[in-house]
Structure 1
Amino acid sequence: MEMRFDGKVAVLSGAGRGLGREQALLLAARGAKVVVNDLGVAIDGGAPSSAPAQEVVDLIKAAGGEAIANFSDVSQESGVKQLVADAVAAFGGVDILVCNAGTIAHGTEPDALNPDMFQKQLDLMVTGVGLLVSAAWPYLASSGQGRIVLTSSSGGVFGINTSAYYGAAKGGVIGLLRCLALDGDACGIKINALCPLASTRLFAGFSDNEEFNNWFNDKARPEYVAPLVGYLAHADCEPTGRAFLVGLGHVSEIFTGLTKGWGTPGHDIEDVRDHFGEIADQTGYAVPASSAAATGFIIKDAPARRA
């Protein structure tokens, strides 16, 4: 059976280009009423334009769908509130929230980091995302089937050279995901994240290998990421608090594991050194569902250690 979104209202930030554009077009084609948010800025966050978001809306309407454009700055509280207000005014609520908006600053060496750029990246990709989720939360909760999809990055999980600003912000998205997923349990909201691999403006400049860039531009199409977003945004999606690497026609789950480890009360520095192999041994790892579960994993072995 085809997975459709008839009657659902989907709000997508950063949906004027690249990944967000393909997601908006897919959800609209499957029946969703779509709010296309995009400030239309250049890759460094400057030169805003209404053209990208409006073009996506025009394409959706030309295909018989329903959509409106929104040009709010989702790094600001006033902007996220206006985005949600526009969705409610136009379509009566919010059922799906997809957070794509982002800029990038790469090529900065560790000895040249500055607080202003950290703040700029965090405002948009952590604070802004959290505030947008907060503004939409009452509407997502009211249906009992709210769905949220966040956009992180493999750079925020596994690291990437000379991109500390971007990596820190995208890593913060994973922290938001894990906490908000627990909060959503009580009201039926499912929230997941993707780490996309796609040929977009944000990827440009990561490699100076022309042959690789030509291959990547052909194989890593943004439309290959959209189906995972569609699944995670659907009411039939049951997973929550999960993160996925997606691109090139491939999907993998990213998870955080906890080794069985080693411990004894009163150990010293040399004990850590001597038992580091056991501490780091990934055999029999666990995948805790929360911080409490991770703590419990350690506590359960405490009696044996005391003995």
Structure 2
Amino acid sequence: MSTLPVVGITMGDPAGVGPEIILKSLNTKEVYQQCRPIVIGDARILDRAQQFVNTNLEIITIEDIGEAAYEAGKVYCLDMNLVPADLPIGQVSAEAGHAAFEFLRKAIELANEGKIDAICTAPLNKEALHKGGHIYPGHTEILAELTNTNDFSMMLSAPNLKVIHVTTHVGIIDAVKMINPERVYKVIKLADETLKKAGYTNPKIAVCGINPHAGENGLFGYGEEEEKVIPGVEKAALEGINVVGPLPADTLFFRTVRGDFDIVVAMYHDQGHGPVKVLGLDAGVNITVGLPIIRTSVDHGTAFDIAGKGIADEKSLQEAIRQAIELAPKRA
């Protein structure tokens, strides 16, 4: 009996680059030496994608996880059979959005049942997701709802930089309204717990301000740092967490890459995503922390403009699989 973790890879939006980067990532023996990968999606779409990426993998359709043999050169697909074989490539559609939701729902079900050890997600398209009748901002919120998780956050991990978010997929005005001391405290605590599980003995956590120069003692903004951020930082520090802030975001990310801190707590989506993506779209991995299951993801979208051309870079998915393997609970 193999002790390698079973990693469920969801196809994401089948009209995007997900099928292509999955095939490219599984076209190596190394991944099968580190885990037992299973694709949750549509076998016909995978087979169609082979012509774009010039792979000659054997796509094996299964109806149950127990049927997979996890042999290199073969891709085992738990086939949901939700979209037509001629689904238009690179286009938003309700069918594809619904399928992406169902692929993820099935993966969560399998993880909750202990049949897979981690979930690694290819990208979905939010417009298609909504057209398919699933009104969520993205993967993270679906995972939280279907696992009954209240305290969670998005963490981006790239070489020399980790970022965790207080708010994510909301407009900037709504983000500022949503920031409060308790949420700041909970995200700091999630950062501390996550890094300690990953082997950091005393993680150094730095918290961004909301305004330029972190408000500069009231010079910018209307006291948001004093009202919304500082009490949360102080509460975490009183519990012994190694945290400082709020600090000016314009220099904090440089300092973190330099090695001054282990992770940055960003206040809103673009404050945290921008610096990570400057390091390269293929470098970042999205990890949802606070869930009862392990979930990693590429940190890029469906790339409809290049879908079907075979040029999508698989490095982010490969890194997401690697981190899923690293974080997955070890089997006896």
Q: What range describes the TM-score normalised by the shorter chain of this pair?
A: 0.3 to 0.5
Higher strand share: 2
Q: TM-score, normalised by structure 1?
A: 0.38
Name which structure has the greater RCO, CA cutoff 8 Å, separation 6+.
Answer: 2
